[in-house]
Amino acid sequence: MTQTGLVWSEHYLEHDPGPHYPERPDRLSAIKPRLERAGIFASTTPVEATIADLALIERVHSPAYIERFRTRCERGLPYVDTVECPLCPATFETARRAVGGVIAACDAVMAGRCESVFCAVRPPGHHAEVDKAYGFCYFNNIAIAAEYLRHEHGLRRMAILDWDVHHGNGTQHHFEADPDIFFVSIHQHPRTLFPGTGFEDERGIDAGLNATLNCPMMPGCIDEHYHHVFEEQILPRIAEFRPEFLLISAGFDAHVDDPLAHIDLSTDAFEWMTVQSVRLMRELGHPRIVSVLEGGYNLDALADCVLAHLQGLRLP
Ligand SMILES: [Zn+2]
> Above 60 in pLDDT, residue 161?
yes
> What string of H, E and C letters represents the secondary structure of 221-235?
CCHHHHHHHHHHHHH
Which positions ≥6 away from 151 have C-beta within 8 Å?
A: 59
pTM: 0.98
Domain count within the chain: 1
The letter for the amino acid at 148 is Y
Summarised one tens digit per residue, pLDDT across range 54-107 is 999 999 999 999 999 999 999 999 999 999 999 999 999 999 999 999 999 999
> How far away, in angstroms, is 16 Cα from ligand 1 center?
18
What stretches of 81-168 show up as alpha helix (H) in DSSP? 91-110, 141-153
Question: Which pLDDT score, from 0 to 100, does residue 19 have?
Answer: 82
DSSP strands (E only) in the chain = 4-7, 45-47, 79-80, 82-86, 116-119, 158-162, 181-188, 212-217, 245-250, 289-293
Domain that holds residue 122: 4-313
> How far away, in angstroms, is 112 Cα from ligand 1 center?
31
CA distances in angstroms from 129 to 36, 51, 136, 215, 235, listed in the order given: 35, 20, 12, 21, 27
> How far away, in angstroms, is 260 Cα from ligand 1 center?
8
> How far away, in angstroms, is 154 Cα from ligand 1 center?
30
Question: Do residues 131 and 61 touch, judged by C-beta distance below 8 A?
Answer: yes
Q: How far is CA 175 from the centre of its chain?
A: 15
Give the strand pairing for 245-250 and 158-162. Answer: parallel
The letter for the amino acid at 177 is A
Q: What is the CATH number of the domain that holds 50?
A: 3.40.800.20
Mean pLDDT in residue range 153-179? 98
> Above 80 in pLDDT, residue 218?
yes
> How far away, in angstroms, is 125 Cα from ligand 1 center?
10
The chain-wide mean pLDDT, for the chain, equals: 97
Mean pLDDT in residue range 124-153? 98
Percent of the chain with pLDDT over 70: 100
> How far away, in angstroms, is 250 Cα from ligand 1 center?
9
Would you name the residues annotated as active-site residues? 127
Cis, peptide link before residue 123, omega less than 30° from 0: yes
> Above 60 in pLDDT, residue 1?
no
Mean pLDDT in residue range 246-271? 98
Summarised one tens digit per residue, pLDDT across range 273-285 is 999 999 999 999 9
DSSP strands (E only) in 59-204 = 79-80, 82-86, 116-119, 158-162, 181-188
Question: Do residues 246 and 289 touch, judged by C-beta distance below 8 A?
Answer: yes
